[in-house]
Amino acid sequence: MNAVETHALTKRFRKVEAVSDLDMRIEAGSIYALMGPNGAGKTTLIKMLMNLVSPTAGRAVILGIAASTLRGRQLESIGYVSENQKLPDWMTVGQFLRYWRPFYPSWDGALEEHLTERFALPLNRKLKNLSRGMRMKASLASALAFRPKLLVLDEPLSGLDPLVRDDLIEALLEQAVHSTVLISSHDLAEIDTFATHVGFMDDGRLRFSGPISEVRRRFRRVEVSADASLPVPSETPGKWLHFSIDGPRASWVETEWDESASAQSAIDAFGNVSITSSPLTLREVFLTLAKKRGSSSNSEVAN
């Protein structure tokens, strides 16, 4: 079962197509990390999923419900936190949490108390007097206290110091055991430690999407070496990115690694060579694709 589905989802702002013909599937129970450079369309996509922005074309389905109909009771199972979310600054933390309780029949008072203690939230302090990290903790506490089936987090870690990020991630993993989580973030090193699935958006399109284990399998750094200078190939396979050659050594990032086929491609290009490969981190995958975007914006990595 999928917690989130989109079908040819598109959003245009005048002449700008922020999200283009996007098909996405997020499995229930997964922690899905949405990657992509600034301006890729991640926030616009999330706003359409939350029915904060209407699509120009296509549709989205959230927990079996059309996203365009989400309101009232249909939001009782969905938690949403955004870095740009406006908070009622005149409220204290305690008032903020009390305000949200009646909207969610599944609100767990014991869990709320645990989260306020876990985050060391000052209940009598006004939101406007909190640091950025504490404001994010208050928002996350309000989104976790009713045990949502789907938790959507738009850049929740942006600009936070490492200790606060670690605290938020630990609490998220503790409390979201029975939730599906969609998180967009540039803190790729952190996401790499807990995401189960990952998608990469660029220029409004979803370039790839799948289990993080598949990303680790597909993207490999490859190095070949020989006893003498390697011949310079007239062209290289499209799945070889950032190819470089220096005398008896050559290296590249391969986007469709297959031990047997990839080794044969290297042999076909260079003859008898020694071949080694190593997996990339999410950050390295992101940088690889971002650099590819700059050199060839119209090309794609196949899903």
Q: Which two tokens stand for residue 182?
A: 């969609």
Statement to judge: residues 161 and 12 lie in one domain: yes
pLDDT digits (tens, 9 = 90+) for 193-250: 888 999 989 899 998 899 998 988 899 999 999 999 999 988 899 899 999 999 999 9
User: Does a structural domain hold residue 26?
Assistant: yes
Same domain, 206 and 224: no
Burial of 17 (0-12, 13-18, 19+ CB in 10 A): middle
- Provide the CATH number for the domain around residue 60: 3.40.50.300
Write down the pLDDT at residue 72.
Answer: 86
Nearest-5° angle of CA 153, CA 11, CA 82? 15
- Do 123 and 171 belong together in one domain? yes
Q: Are residues 115 and 21 in the same domain?
A: yes
Report the percent of the chain where pLDDT is more than 90. 68
Residue 90 lies in a domain: yes
**What is the predicted pLDDT for the residue at 302?**
37
Q: Is residue 300 situated within a structural domain?
A: no
Q: Is residue 149 part of a domain?
A: yes
pLDDT tens per residue, range 115-170 = 999 999 999 999 999 999 999 999 999 999 999 999 999 988 777 788 888 888 88
Please count the structural domains in the chain.
2
Question: Does 9 lie in the same domain as 114?
Answer: yes
Q: Within a 10 A sphere around the Cβ of 37, how many other Cβ atoms?
A: 16
**Is residue 10 situated within a structural domain?**
yes
Find all residues with CB under 8 Å of 55, minimum gap 6, and list them: 9, 10, 11, 19, 48, 68
pLDDT category at 187 given cuts 50, 70, 90 is: low
83 and 130 in a common domain: yes
Assess if residue 302 is contained within a domain.
Answer: no
Residue 295 counted as domain residue: no
- Please indicate, yes or no, if residue 142 is contained in any of the structural domains: yes
97 and 239 both lie in a single domain: no
CA 151 to chain centre: 13
Segments forming the whole domain that contains residue 36? 2-211
User: Which tens digit of pLDDT belongs to each residue from 84-108?
Assistant: 889 999 999 999 999 999 999 999 9
